[in-house]
Every structure is written in structure tokens, then in C-alpha cells.
Amino acid sequence: PPTPPRPSTAFLGGPGEGPPCGAGLGWASEGLGAGGKNRRVCHAAARLEMGSLWEEFNRLGTEMIVTKAGRRMFPTFQVKLSGLDPLADYVLLMDFVPLDDKRYRYAFHSSSWLAAGRADPAAPGRVHFHPDSPAKGAQWMRQIVSFDKLKLTNNLLDDNGHIILNSMHRYQPRFHVVFVDPRRDSERFAHQNFKSFSFPETQFMAVTAYQNHRITQLKIASNPFAKGFRDG
């Protein structure tokens, strides 16, 4: 069968996540669930994997390296999905929104981040499609969904499709489940066909080098790719 088209992402403009779905009310009318969301996304649920590790980083103040060439995130953003229609097609994607309008600097004497003026002009807003998109709900729910190909860059002219972020700015990753609507005029229903998830424990500061030495230690201790930096 032909690959269904990727849906428009124009609906991802604001930080809002659309009206909430009412559990159990999603079958009242064809297509629409309570709260104005399509019933094929209304009951979608996402559980963040490695939650305790994210919490550990979050307590210290997570930092993510951005480089010109692009750097993968650690911890990797991974979720376990449920509540999808097994036979429907879905696209999964991520974007990153600034947490505030400030630029920061790290004060080593107090081991803390301090606001250091207004944010730089926003980097080009990009989304990262999971490479397996689109796929059936059954496939997405079968295993943990990992965004391990996603890379962060500070290169404003990046042409590799990486997520562009400003260093020394704070970000919130957002995860979106989008139902691939087969209707010819599906653009009209774009706002009904997605559900978004934000996990506060995944917030981070974009940096070109780790500032907090405890973050460096935790990354080395918990990242399987950092074996060479470990003692012994």
C-alpha cells in the first residue's frame, strides 16, 4: 500500500496541548472524542522511560550538549505508548520549546544558574520525525519508542535537519502523537488529530560544554557510550 502522507505540523505553533480528552466519552460521535479530539488520539497515553534517571539529572539541573555537527541527547528520550488504535497510522515527532525568555550563565562559586539577560533571537523552530513514521498504532505500542537518532545543534545554518537550539538557554522537549487522517480535507482537522505530551523532568539547559561537574560525573556513570571515561 502507498505510504500515507506526513501530516502538517502547523498546529504545533503554541505551547498549548489542545483541549483535554474525556476518558470513556470518546465514542459519542464518529471521529470526535470529548474535548474535540479525534477518538484515535483521545486515549493515547505516553509513559516516559528511564524516569528515575531523568529525575536524577533534573535534581542537578540537566544539561545537554549542542555542537555544530549535532550531538545526541543523553538520557535518550524514550516513551512507552498505549491507547492508540492498532490499525490506524500515526506519525510521532518531537519539538523543543524555550522555557522562558532568558539567557543564563553558570556561577561556579555557587554551583547555580543565573539569568544573564534576555534570550537570544529564537532559533528556527524545527520538528524531528521519528524515522519509523508513519506506522500502525500496533507497531508503536509493541515496543519502547526511542528518539535516539535526534541530534541537537547550535548551528543556525544547519542543513542536516537537526534540532537547532541556543546555548545557555532552557528548553522543554515535547512529544506529539499525530493520527494520519485519510480524509481528503484532513488539513481542516489538524487540530483534532494530535495529542501532545510534556514531561517536566526532561527540561534541560543547552550548553556547548558541561558547566556543573556533577552532571559530567552522572553522564559518565550512566551513559553506556562513556565507558572510556570511567575509572578502571
Q: How confident is the model at residue 124 (pLDDT cuts 50, 70, 90)?
A: confident
Please give the biggest Cα pair distance in the chain. 63
Q: Is residue 74 part of a domain?
A: yes
Predicted confidence (pLDDT) at residue 177 exceeds the cutoff of 80: yes
Predicted confidence (pLDDT) at residue 138 exceeds the cutoff of 80: yes
Strand order in the sheet with 151-153: 71-72, 151-153, 163-164
Q: Is residue 91 part of a domain?
A: yes
Give the per-residue pLDDT at 95: 97
Q: Is residue 28 part of a domain?
A: no
Q: How confident is the model at residue 31 (pLDDT cuts 50, 70, 90)?
A: low
Q: Tell me, what CATH number does 67's domain have?
A: 2.60.40.820
Q: Which residue has the higher pLDDT, 227 or 208?
A: 208
Whole-number Å distance between alpha carbons of 181 and 126: 22
Predicted confidence (pLDDT) at residue 229 exceeds the cutoff of 70: no
Q: What is the mean pLDDT of residues 194-204?
A: 97
Predicted confidence (pLDDT) at residue 118 exceeds the cutoff of 50: yes
Q: Is residue 204 part of a domain?
A: yes
Q: Give me 183's grid cell.
A: 480524509
Ramachandran category for residue 216: left, alpha or beta (phi over 0 → left; psi -120 to 50 → alpha): alpha
Q: Is residue 21 part of a domain?
A: no
SS3 state of residue 90? strand
Predicted confidence (pLDDT) at residue 140 exceeds the cutoff of 80: yes
Give the per-residue pLDDT at 227: 55
Predicted confidence (pLDDT) at residue 214 exceeds the cutoff of 60: yes
Mean pLDDT taken over the chain: 87
Give the C-alpha distances (Å, rounded to integers) separating 31 from 39, 125, 179, 189, 218.
6, 30, 11, 10, 46
Q: Is residue 26 part of a domain?
A: no
Query: Structural domain tally of the chain?
Result: 1
Predicted confidence (pLDDT) at residue 54 exceeds the cutoff of 60: yes
Give the per-residue pLDDT at 36: 82
Which residues constitute the domain of residue 89? 39-227
Q: What is the mean pLDDT of residues 155-177?
A: 97
Q: Is residue 108 part of a domain?
A: yes
Q: Is residue 161 part of a domain?
A: yes
Q: How confident is the model at residue 19 (pLDDT cuts 50, 70, 90)?
A: very low
Q: Give me 147's grid cell.
A: 528518539
Predicted confidence (pLDDT) at residue 50 exceeds the cutoff of 90: yes
